[in-house]
Amino acid sequence: MIGLLKGLEITAAHLLRKKVTVQYPEERRKLPERSRGLIRLRLKDDAATPRCIACTFCEQVCPAVAIKIIYDEKRADKVWRFDAGAGPMLSFLNRGEKPVGIAPWPQGAAEAPARGCIASSLIDAGELTEQLLEGLALKNGAWVSQVFSIATYYDQLGPGAPRPGEAPPAPAERATMEDCPQILLANHGGVDPESIDAYAGAGGYSAATRILTETPPPGVVEEITQSGLRGRSGSGFPTGRKWQVAAETLAPQKYIICNAEEGDPGSFKDRILLEENPHSVIEGMIVAGYAIGASQGYIYISKDNRLAVERLRGAIDQAEDRDLLGAELPGGFAFSLEVVEVPKTFMGGEETAVIATLEGKRPMPSVRPPYPAEKGLRGMPTVVENVETLAAVPWIIKNGARAFSQIGAPNAPGTKLFTLQGAVGKPGVYEASMSTSLKKLVAEVGGGFKGEPKAALVGSAGGGFLSPGLFDIPLDYDSLSEAGGDLSSGTITVLGADECVVDVARQCLAFFTRQSCGKCVPCRLGTWRLLDVVDRICRGAGAGDLELARTLAEDIQAGALCGLGRTSVRPLLTGLKFFKEEFTAHAVEGKCAAGRCGK
């Protein structure tokens, strides 16, 4: 028994060191791995068995507990509870109901800068030792339990974690369709990505330097608004509208964040832009910073994208040497840029989770409003943009809003990068307008279909299925939404006749169950419940599961806090919509024509 307890004065480090040790089981249990630190445990009456009280749905002993709490105190009347950040709650240790020794997260913008990005400090952590946790807590002005709650979020950290890996190779094919100008792939293969002189020789940084002397910030915002540029991360929110909100919000500091997480399976577009044309993204950030009055920018990127990180840092150094960054530019504007590497996680790419991570918190989404453009990083107006969105900005400034708005679809002008894979002749990353159809994209640059296609999954794991009869619709936000799908990252997987739509939908759902941050019940529990139902469908359990799956999916879509939960069920819902006969064959007859299910 610890004899030095002094109520609220005792530190989390002391408790973690003297009272509680945390171990991972050798075999990972059936629970989202990122929920390890979210599980709230206490001793049952026998003072030995941990009992999950993370939700009100289940008061049973949970066999899926992914962390093991070992208590020094064994008496039933001395109950300790461990909580590492479930939902909106914060990290604390309880003795009964009385909190002992843990302070809340620092509140207010004035205190926030004292804490850095803890996640980036954990990148090289091989083991989550007490010494490591205590050192990071001291360095960042946080409690040890807060550092621990962040560390346990990432699969790459802690005992039993998989060995660090590199990002999978991107497909080699690149091309721009003939009916649209090269905007995003303009410098591919012709300009050295590691040379600022090569970029400047191709007209680079001319947009940024010209607006500083010729166009006031409101004029830049108006130009982006008139161009019709929409965010390329998937939501398609009008970029100019976001910039205008941030520009009109009064604050002593504003920020630009480039979200380069790109967690969608099979998506490579942002990575190749950063590897092959990093200066275009930097120039886009300078323009955005000038437009809204931000003096600081961050590029938030996974550590796995090593080449992109290396080239980004080199490009920033070159821009600083030319006084394009970190120095006062014409008109008195100055803009600094920093690359922040973080452990890879899909959920960390949600814009409010990005902000939370940079503030030294768990990468979990926040309820909106207020939106980041009004109140974001450290409580200040913050514009979070996708890599592809920022890379398009210099072209718009150089060529004018009108030229951009006349490309492609009226409701989605400009070009878009599509990652094409699966049953096509030439998988690759292709630039096309969003008025382009899938059939045209595959025929003109994708090498044609391999055999007779069965379906296409548009938008990666969070997108939707299209039947071959819909391969002629435009690949824009609104047309795909009307079909029940989502453009998302623009990743398109064509399924051949030997593929199973039911199995692909199940794989997509399984991906999201593992990636859930655990903050909201529809995502944390609903996706696992739905995955069980889909597994039964794959085994041929009965027709009743089809309607149950649809109902559960619609409830999750309506009730999830953020886009991860809402998009997690889209492949299933669109699969049931366009390929119901295939789902029925599985559920009623137990038959998988492709021979992939029921094994």
CB 502 within 8 A of CB 575: yes
Nearest to 207 by CA among 397, 58, 356: 397
In this structure, the answer to whether residues 536 and 505 fall within a common structural domain is yes
In a domain, 555, yes or no: yes
CB 112 within 8 A of CB 97: no
- CATH number for 439: 3.10.20.600
Domain that holds residue 473: 412-495
In a domain, 199, yes or no: yes
Mention every residue, 6+ apart, whose C-beta is less than 8 A from residue 519: 38, 87, 88, 364, 365, 561
In this structure, the answer to whether residues 341 and 381 fall within a common structural domain is yes
Q: pTM of this prediction?
A: 0.83
In this structure, the answer to whether residues 41 and 131 fall within a common structural domain is yes
In this structure, the answer to whether residues 557 and 487 fall within a common structural domain is no
Domain boundary residue, one of 495, 525, 556? 495
In this structure, the answer to whether residues 48 and 107 fall within a common structural domain is yes
Record the tokens describing residue 356, joined without a space. Answer: 């939370």
In this structure, the answer to whether residues 375 and 490 fall within a common structural domain is no
Per the structure, the count of domains in the chain is: 4
Give residue for tokens 């006062």. 328
Record the tokens describing residue 372, joined without a space. Answer: 């980041």
In this structure, the answer to whether residues 307 and 392 fall within a common structural domain is yes
In this structure, the answer to whether residues 357 and 225 fall within a common structural domain is yes
Tens-digit pLDDT profile for the chain (599 aa)?
A: 333 333 323 333 333 333 333 333 333 334 344 444 333 333 333 333 333 333 322 222 232 333 333 334 444 444 333 333 332 222 233 333 333 333 333 333 333 334 678 899 888 776 667 677 778 877 887 766 667 767 777 777 655 566 656 678 888 899 999 888 999 998 887 899 999 999 999 999 999 999 988 999 999 999 999 999 999 987 789 999 999 999 999 999 999 999 999 988 889 999 999 999 999 999 999 999 999 999 999 999 998 899 999 999 999 999 999 999 998 887 789 999 999 999 888 888 899 999 999 998 888 888 888 899 999 999 999 999 999 999 999 999 999 999 999 999 888 999 999 999 999 999 999 999 999 999 999 999 999 999 999 999 999 989 999 999 999 999 999 999 888 888 888 999 999 999 999 999 999 999 988 888 777 778 877 888 899 899 999 888 778 889 999 999 998 888 888 888 889 999 999 999 999 999 999 988 888 887 888 65
In this structure, the answer to whether residues 227 and 376 fall within a common structural domain is yes
